[in-house]
Amino acid sequence: MKLSASLILTLAVGFVVGFVFAKQSYQQPTPSVEEIVKKVQDEIDASGRQVVMEVWAALQLLKEAVKEAPVPIAPMPELERKFATVGERLSVAVETLLTQTFIGAVEKTTAAMPELNYLVFERVVQFFNASREDVQRMREKGLTWSSIIVGYGLAKASGKPAKDVFAAYEKEKSWSKMALDLGVKPQTLGKALHGLFP
């Protein structure tokens, strides 16, 4: 009886020590404000490259318009349609980039004051009706609040499942390109995020 009691006590102590050690080893180190800002800037740069590509496409269209324009002024419906499409794509790419930049400022604040992460977490879960486990998993994978919010916003704006949007982002790494691939229209992302941070 005495032997079994000491065995149980030893196992219990071993379990508690193992649990505490496992929990400590699982917790990721909190990144510094500088590391968070660099990560957000890298995400903004990736989306910015898409904006540059859209501007380049618009420039090519302008050059084409100059070559094709008749000497007397005449309607050019095909070119006008192309301009409308390119203009819309550029608007969506820029809107997504500006949204990322704005939320990047929120990210910096939470990095400087980590206690605010809980408030942002709760707001994201409530606003998007998101699963706590999914949001927690994304944070553990290293996604910034900027990426999480823009991803959920694009899912809401496009009517696509959030898990599909985030899975596609893993390949693209550019939220501006994702917005274009999802067929999001100008100002739709802004409307989808309206009221997130009242």
pLDDT in tens, 130-178: 999 999 999 999 999 999 999 999 999 999 999 999 999 999 889 999 9
Residues 16 and 62 in one domain: no
Residues 24 and 39 in one domain: no
For residue 2, what are the domain limits? 1-30
Residue 198 lies in a domain: no
User: If you write DSSP's letter for every residue of 103-143 in order, what string do you get?
Assistant: HHHHHHHHHHSGGGHHHHHHHHHHHHT--HHHHHHHHHTT-
Residues 39 and 93 in one domain: yes
| pTM exceeds cut of 0.75 | yes
Residues 4 and 54 in one domain: no
Residues 92 and 171 in one domain: yes
Residues 108 and 139 in one domain: yes
Q: Provide the domain count of the chain.
A: 2
pLDDT digits 0-9 by tens, 46-80: 899 999 988 998 888 888 877 777 766 767 788 78
Residues 65 and 113 in one domain: yes
Residues 75 and 157 in one domain: yes
Residues 6+ apart with CB under 8 A from 100: 40, 43, 44, 47, 146, 150, 175
